[in-house]
Chains A and B, each alone.
Chain A
């Protein structure tokens, strides 16, 4: 375990929102770990969720993914996007064959620096008992004006079921 691993904040869905957000992240840690458990309460299948930092929605997000979808492995590269658009990370709703919570574990090293921010994440969710995705991605947040990560937002295509969470943890080693 890290020398210090603190819970910073948790955003919990209430009123079936379209997004979760954590703001005012203190600059007192070295790394951030973010755990997102997210699904819709409507009758839609597994879908994507989008992560943005500091409210930046310009073309400052790039990533490369390796994963399995359905019955094959796949790889993709996305450059200069308006967010980290994470496929199959927002779990499906009831009546779709699966009501599994979607899951993302995002890691942001050296988040308080003002250089570009490399990140990585694992994610998974299932549409049904036989179709889903799991993936690992490496990303880069490189805004035109250098900035520390002080907030992050999780936005979904379908409403987020009440009680779903985005938790942010701070890690430091000394």
Chain B
């Protein structure tokens, strides 16, 4: 089954969080919408289990701004999954839909945890984007993922930002 687990609560500043994720699923899926305050498009990333060390490896590819071949690989202390449009875009208040998959999230599953996401929004200007993101966590692969923090690099999460976590069962 695909079971609803939890949603992020009311945004407070640049952090959102889902905690106490059960270790009973095969994989996780997150959907929702996101937007940030201010005038600068944000890089949006996660911390797993509160780990802020340089143990995250991210790549993205696709259309970003006016570059149709925007690709990048990087390793740092942020698990990037997309970009957050602002409430002051060319057409005003713009949301980005969120589709994010997290796999091998249990410590007893083979391999390091990975994620895959789609990042897109359109604001009728050259700053629209449509990209794929992927990454993997090189921290403790024997630990279950129990907590995800969602962070915006610019401004704060807009009040209507919400992310919903689902789990796929194997029974």
Q: How far is the CA of A167 from the CA of B57 in the complex (A)?
A: 26
Are B75 and A100 in touch, CB under 8 angstroms? no
Contact with A along B68-97 (1 / 0, CB 8 A): 110101010000000000000000000000
Q: How far is the CA of A39 from the CA of B136 in the complex (A)?
A: 13
Interface status of B65 (Cβ within 8 A of chain A): no
Are A164 and B110 in touch, CB under 8 angstroms? yes
Q: Could you say which of B62, B114, B138, B141 contacts A129, with CB atoms under 8 Å apart?
A: B138
Q: Could you say which of A37, A105, A135 contacts B110, with CB atoms under 8 Å apart?
A: A37
Number of interface residues of B (CB under 8 A): 37
Contact with B along A63-93 (1 / 0, CB 8 A): 0000110011100000000000000000100
A128 closest partner in B (C-beta): B57
Interface status of A161 (Cβ within 8 A of chain B): yes
Interface of B is mostly: strand
Q: Could you say which of B71, B112, B170 contacts A100, with CB atoms under 8 Å apart?
A: B112
Interface of A is mostly: strand
Interface status of B143 (Cβ within 8 A of chain A): no
Contact with A along B146-171 (1 / 0, CB 8 A): 00000000000000000000101111
Q: Could you say which of A1, A130, A161 contacts B111, with CB atoms under 8 Å apart?
A: A161
Are A131 and B136 in touch, CB under 8 angstroms? no
Return B25 CB to nearest CB of chain A, in Å. 10
Q: How many A-B residue pairs have CB under 8 A?
A: 125
B101 closest partner in A (C-beta): A105
Return A129 CB to nearest CB of chain B, in Å. 5
Interface status of A134 (Cβ within 8 A of chain B): yes
Query: Which stretch from A3-11, A109-117, A148-156 is at the chain B interface?
Result: A3-11
Known contacts A99-B111, A101-B114; can you find 19 more A-B pairs with CB under 8 A?
A2-B2, A7-B168, A35-B27, A37-B26, A37-B109, A72-B61, A101-B110, A103-B114, A103-B116, A122-B101, A124-B134, A129-B57, A130-B57, A130-B75, A132-B73, A161-B111, A163-B109, A164-B111, A169-B1
Show the binding face of B for A, using Cβ within 8 Å.
Answer: 1-2, 4, 26-27, 57, 59-62, 68-69, 71, 73, 75, 101, 103-104, 108-114, 116, 132-134, 136, 138, 141, 166, 168-171
Show the binding face of A for B, using Cβ within 8 Å.
Answer: 1-2, 5-7, 10, 35, 37, 39, 41, 67-68, 71-73, 91, 98-103, 105, 122, 124-126, 129-132, 134-136, 161-165, 167, 169
